[in-house]
């Protein structure tokens, strides 16, 4: 094990133990000889990353956390989250979008496209999200109770959905509530030609870290029905879930550091 690896092992150990650690504890938990651990601790102590109290217990200083906070605070929302979307687009070869719940509505905020297929769906970032006909919209509705969901859908004349959405859009409250119940159970939403002709999509929620029931937004993957079906979309669930988790962690950090919810100014 290199000295660099050992140094990071010790630093990472402090993040898991904010109450401090003795030299012997650090040595035992990292499997680093005490003499070597002491040399490393002396080095990072001189650089200001750790300090000792009168009992010779070592603690992580605020230098690393403050550096991270400064980085996050000085970096835009787009710059932090776009790499996660790009990775998912590269893995799936399909159109990836991130939505955000803002002021009682859901809007598109970021997207990623990797042209690995001749036939590619390219939904606009400025298109509206119809709550009851899109994968992201249904994911949002499923995070609410039925009464709240129906209050939102009441503005859309659900019986006429197929006149302004896809040919398989739900046209009754009963069908919508059944879909929302299924989505809550599965943890993801799939639509096939409900939003548009020839388009299917899958969406998963991104939640507030300290409030698991509070939906920040959604991650969705969309593509043509000529290439994708329900089984194909479901095979993407592990990759989407991993991306949603990374986006959730990054988004929550950005919000906590900036002490404000996402605003459109954060995207430019």
39 lies in some domain: yes
Q: Dihedral sign for Cα 180, 183, 188, 191, please.
A: negative
- Where does the chain show beta strands of DSSP type E? 50-52, 58-60, 95-102, 105-112, 189-192, 199-208, 211-224
Query: What's the burial of 16, exposed, middle or buried (CB within 10 Å: 0-12/13-18/19+)?
Result: exposed
Which of 13, 28, 61 finishes a domain? 61
And the tokens for 224?
A: 């043509």
48 & 115 share domain: no
Residue that is written with structure tokens 């000792």 in the block: 52
- Total domains in the chain come to 2
pLDDT of residue 196: 92
CB atoms within 10 A of CB 1: 10
Q: Which domain holds residue 89?
A: 71-267
Quick check: is 253 in a domain? yes
| Boundary (domain end) residue, out of 17, 41, 61 | 61
Whether 92 and 16 share a structural domain:
no
Q: Measured between alpha carbons, how far is 26 from 4 in angstroms, rounded to an integer?
A: 16
Average pLDDT of adjacent 10-residue blocks, the chain of 268 residues: 84 85 91 91 89 89 69 65 92 92 85 70 67 96 95 92 94 96 96 95 88 83 93 96 92 70 45
pLDDT at 66: 65
pLDDT at 258: 65
Residues 112 and 242 in one domain: yes
The answer to whether position 66 is within a domain reads no
Give the domain CATH number at 15.
1.10.10.10
**Within a domain: residue 42?**
yes
User: What CA–CA distance (Å, rounded) separates 89 from 92?
Assistant: 5
Q: Is 260 helix (H, G, I), strand (E, B) or coil?
A: coil
Same-domain check for residues 39 and 96: no
Give the closest residue to 140 by CA, choosing from 173, 109, 104: 104
Q: 133 vs 7, 66, 104, 206, CA distance in Å?
A: 52, 44, 17, 19
Q: Would you state the pLDDT for residue 210? A: 56
Contact call for residues 88 and 110 (beta carbons, < 8 A): no
Residue 115 is predicted with a pLDDT of: 67
Q: Alpha-carbon distance 230 to 256, whole Å?
A: 37
Structural domain contains residue 242? yes
Q: What span, in angstroms and rounded, lies between the C-alpha atoms of 179 and 94?
A: 24
> Quick one: pLDDT at residue 146?
96
């Amino acid at each position: 094990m290199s000295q660099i690896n050992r140094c990071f092992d010790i630093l990472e150990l402090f993040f898991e133990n904010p109450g401090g650690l003795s030299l012997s504890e650090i040595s035992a938990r990292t499997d680093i000889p005490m003499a070597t651990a002491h040399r490393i601790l002396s080095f990072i102590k001189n650089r200001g990353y750790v300090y000792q109290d009168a009992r010779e217990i070592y603690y992580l200083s605020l230098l690393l956390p403050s550096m991270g906070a400064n980085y996050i605070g000085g970096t835009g929302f787009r710059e932090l989250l776009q790499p996660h979307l790009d990775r998912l687009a590269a893995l799936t070869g399909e159109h990836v979008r991130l939505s955000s719940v803002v002021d009682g509505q859901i809007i598109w905020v970021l997207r990623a496209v990797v042209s690995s297929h001749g036939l590619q769906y390219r939904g606009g970032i400025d298109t509206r999200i119809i709550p009851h006909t899109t994968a992201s919209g249904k994911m949002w509705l499923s995070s609410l109770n039925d009464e709240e969901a129906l209050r939102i859908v009441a503005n859309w004349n659900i019986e006429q959905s197929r006149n302004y959405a896809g040919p398989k859009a739900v046209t009754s409250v009963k069908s919508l509530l059944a879909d929302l119940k299924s989505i809550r159970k599965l943890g993801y939403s799939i639509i096939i030609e409900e939003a548009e002709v020839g388009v299917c999509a899958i969406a998963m929620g991104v939640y507030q870290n300290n409030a698991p029931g509070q939906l920040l937004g959604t991650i969705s993957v969309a593509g043509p029905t000529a290439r994708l079906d329900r089984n194909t979309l479901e095979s993407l669930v592990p990759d989407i879930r991993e991306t949603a988790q990374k986006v959730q962690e990054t988004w929550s950090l950005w919000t906590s550091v900036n002490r404000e919810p996402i605003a459109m100014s954060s995207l430019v």
